[in-house]
Amino acid sequence: MKVLIIEDELPAQKRLKRQLAEIDEFIEVLDCLDSISSGIAWFQNNPDPDLLFLDIQLADGLSFKILEQVKTECPIIFCTAYDEYAIKAFKHNSIDYLLKPIDQADLEAALKKFQKNYGTKNQIDLQKLQEILTQPKKDYKQRFMVKIGEKIQSINIASIDYFYSDQKATFLKTKDNKKYLIDYPLDQLEELLDPAVYFRLNRKYITHHNAIDSVFSFSNSRLKVTLKNSDDDNILISREKVQKFKEWLDA
């Protein structure tokens, strides 16, 4: 099977190539492209691949522009960061949509779907693509208001390393090692924060990628995590969460 990948994030490219190799070592990745312009040029100068993996949002625009400007009937698996519920609404199409970071089981299922229908002509429904692309993306919280004495200050999400609970209160810790009390429980924060950036380690911590100092193997297949600017040496990730945590780190 010969596949083409159009994805503008290098880590996502590498992850997908690795996942494909793990599923079937005979899958040949013809090329990895990162833009609308390079995608159009490729199709104008090469025969169709057996299968196309296509990111929806590229650095130079929405990838459906490629499909509007070139003639291709190759099956397509879209890789997207769009909300999971929007994706599920279009599962009845012959095109498959995988939510990033791509789950290995979902990728295998999509490939089996392709293999089952190999040789058939999958029609690309641009109207339905337009509908999914124009749906509003979920807006994650970008700042938190905190009180410092009589002063109220806005803390931008970009400066926050992690959130934690202590004595039934919730705090945020900034990159410059300052902590502030906030009025959100961790369960609510989990819904407000971008899951591609923040991960719920356990009942006490939600952390940013960059706040993780080190990760160690621990008893009973668990992991132990140390965070920057934290003296808590007992931050554990349950066995049930280990795989999801590893996938989040590797995305």
Residue 30, classified by CB atoms within 10 Å of its CB into exposed (0-12), middle (13-18) or buried (19+), is middle
What is the spatial distance between Cα 127 and Cα 24, in angstroms, rounded to a whole number? 33
Element (H, E) at 186: helix 186-192
Mean pLDDT of 7-30: 93
Please write the tens of the pLDDT for every residue from 96-114: 778 888 889 989 988 988 8
Mean pLDDT of 42-68: 90
Report the range of poorest mean pLDDT among 106-120, 137-151, 160-174, 231-245: 106-120
pLDDT over 70 at 167, yes or no: yes
pTM exceeds 0.75? no
Tokens representing 68 are: 């509007």
Walk me through the domains of the chain, giving residue ranges and CATH numbers.
2-134 (3.40.50.2300), 143-250 (2.40.50.1020)
What is the spatial distance between Cα 157 and Cα 35, in angstroms, rounded to a whole number? 29
Predicted confidence at residue 91, as pLDDT, reads: 45
Please write the tens of the pLDDT for every residue from 177-205: 999 999 999 999 999 999 989 999 999 99
